[in-house]
Amino acid sequence: MKLPPSNTVVWFGVLGGGLAWIAQFAVNLAFSFAQCNAPAGRWELPVRPLEIGLSAAAIGIGLLSMAVAGWLYLYTYQFKHVARAERRGEGSPPPTGRLNFLAVVGLTVNLLALSIMVMTGIGAPLLSLCRQS
């Protein structure tokens, strides 16, 4: 925990959840169109399992990214005054200051992304497939 983590890891912590949501969203959407827009019988996708599996995977990635962000926060929290200063936007010197900033951002993004993924992940399977709204 002494060295700052690599850039890729940091940005996964920031963006991971969001990207996972995009993936879940786009692919589920494609399935629902394929299943419901197409004249019956052309696509016989096992939509339900796919849907649930996808959501599960996406949520998993989201959690992982959340964990990274949390770890990053703890890392920068070693310099307590940095964490405090950052919350107030005092802009403590990079890289520590920037890392803490990104960590806070990552935590919140992932929280929201996760809530969306969970809501759709639970909500969608509860509804009957392909019924006109």
Using alpha carbons, select from 31, 34, 61, 33 the residue that is nearest to residue 48: 31
| Structure tokens, 115 | 């809530």
The minimum distance between CB 46 and another protein, in angstroms, equals 14
Report CA Rg, the chain. 19
- 73 touches another protein by CB under 8 A: no
Token code pair at residue 45:
């996708």
Q: For residue 90, which amino acid is it?
A: E
d(CA 14, CA 29) in angstroms, rounded, equals: 24
* Contact flag: residue 92 with another protein (CB under 8 A): yes
Give the nearest distance from C-beta 47 to another protein in angstroms. 8
Q: According to CB under 8 A, which one of 4, 5, 18, 70 is a site residue for another protein? A: 18
94 sits near another protein (criterion: CB under 8 A): yes
Residue 32 within binding range of another protein, rule CB under 8 A: yes
Residue 96 binds to another protein (criterion: CB under 8 A): yes
Closest to 79 (Cα-Cα) out of 100, 106, 102, 104:
100
Binding site for another protein (CB under 8 A): 7, 18, 21-22, 25, 28-30, 32-39, 42-43, 78-79, 81-82, 85-98, 100-102, 104-105, 108-109, 111-112, 115-116, 119-120, 123-124, 126-133
